[in-house]
């Protein structure tokens, strides 16, 4: 059979088919992924609601990302909106810090969490599709000391130091097993010049995060520091005793620490 003769009408038809395919792909990306690349993180209404419930601390004690939101969270973390949100929180923290009337005794302090506050575990959780917490696997990841620094918090850290605050990094990571790798990871990502890195020792092993961090902050206050600000990605960083004059909740839809 001979091919049908090609008329000049075909060109717009091909363009039309191409446009329809583009529209279809775009819609499919929205339905499947929650967040097309050009959007920046709004995306799937259900998963957006879930994320806001997490950030407002309504969705307490959730175990893992809902299965239908795994791709949404991956897109949120990787495609810009997460960095926009961290940047906004860091900006608000810096603006607040800038208007604090500093004490001449240099006892004005800030408390910063480490995991997903200073250092990002996004590569680890992304590779595991935000699956449930696996202590051995996480220890293996953290002991590599290869967590990327989170740019907006690196900037906030330097801003706080320049302003004269004493900065304490407080983390639930185990001091004995992860002490050297955590300190090296922090140094390599520009977190140097902090007052102290306070990790979980044998005495506080098994305590909840709220109990451990409350005890640390209480001790800081007993030592004469005034906790002006407190930054963490978990509500358990920001609740309990001596939480500080003001708390800043960084976004984290990847996991929940009770």
Catalog residues that contact its own copies under the rule CB under 8 A: 8-9, 12-13, 15-16, 19-20, 23, 35, 39-46, 48-53, 55-60, 80-81, 84-85, 88-89, 92-93, 246-249, 251
Nearer to its own copies, 72 or 168 (CB): 72
Nearer to its own copies, 43 or 172 (CB): 43
Nearer to its own copies, 38 or 162 (CB): 38
Nearer to its own copies, 85 or 108 (CB): 85
Sign of CA dihedral 123, 124, 126, 127: positive
Q: Where are the alpha helices (DSSP H) in 99-207?
A: 122-127, 135-143, 151-163, 175-188
Phi, psi of 89 (to 5 degrees): -65, -45
Provide, rounded to whole angstroms, the least separation between the CB of residue 215 and its own copies.
22
Q: How does DSSP assign 117-131, residue by residue?
A: TTB--HHHHHHTTT-
CB contact at 8 A, 65 and 130 = yes
Phi, psi of 230 (to 5 degrees): -145, 125
Provide, rounded to whole angstroms, the least separation between the CB of residue 80 and its own copies.
7
Provide, rounded to whole angstroms, the least separation between the CB of residue 115 and its own copies.
18
Provide, rounded to whole angstroms, the least separation between the CB of residue 220 and its own copies.
22
Task: Find tokens 């998963």 and name the residue.
Answer: 47
Provide, rounded to whole angstroms, the least separation between the CB of residue 16 and its own copies.
5
Nearer to its own copies, 139 or 246 (CB): 246
Helix axes 135-143, 175-188, angle to 10 degrees: 40
């Amino acid at each position: 059979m001979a091919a049908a003769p090609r008329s000049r009408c075909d060109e717009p038809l091909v363009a039309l088919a191409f446009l329809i395919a583009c529209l279809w792909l775009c819609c499919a990306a929205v339905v499947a992924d929650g967040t097309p690349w050009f959007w920046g993180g709004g995306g799937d209404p259900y998963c957006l609601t879930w994320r806001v419930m997490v950030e407002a601390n309504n969705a307490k004690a959730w175990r893992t990302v809902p299965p239908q939101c795994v791709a949404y969270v991956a897109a949120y973390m990787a495609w810009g909106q997460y960095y926009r949100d961290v940047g906004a929180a860091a900006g608000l923290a810096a603006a607040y810090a800038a208007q604090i009337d500093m004490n001449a005794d240099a006892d004005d302090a800030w408390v910063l969490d480490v995991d997903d506050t200073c250092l990002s575990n996004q590569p680890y959780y992304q590779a595991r599709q935000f699956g449930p917490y696996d202590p051995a696997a996480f220890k293996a990841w953290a002991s590599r000391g290869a967590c990327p620094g989170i740019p907006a918090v690196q900037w906030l850290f330097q801003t706080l130091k320049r302003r004269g605050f004493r900065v304490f990094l407080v983390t639930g990571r185990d001091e004995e097993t992860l002490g050297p790798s955590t300190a090296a990871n922090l140094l390599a990502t520009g977190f140097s010049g902090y007052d102290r890195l306070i990790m979980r020792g044998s005495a506080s092993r098994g305590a909840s995060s709220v109990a451990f961090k409350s005890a640390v902050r209480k001790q800081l206050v007993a030592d004469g520091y005034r906790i002006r600000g407190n930054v963490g990605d978990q509500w358990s960083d920001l609740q309990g005793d001596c939480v500080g004059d003001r708390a800043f909740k960084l976004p984290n839809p990847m996991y929940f620490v009770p």
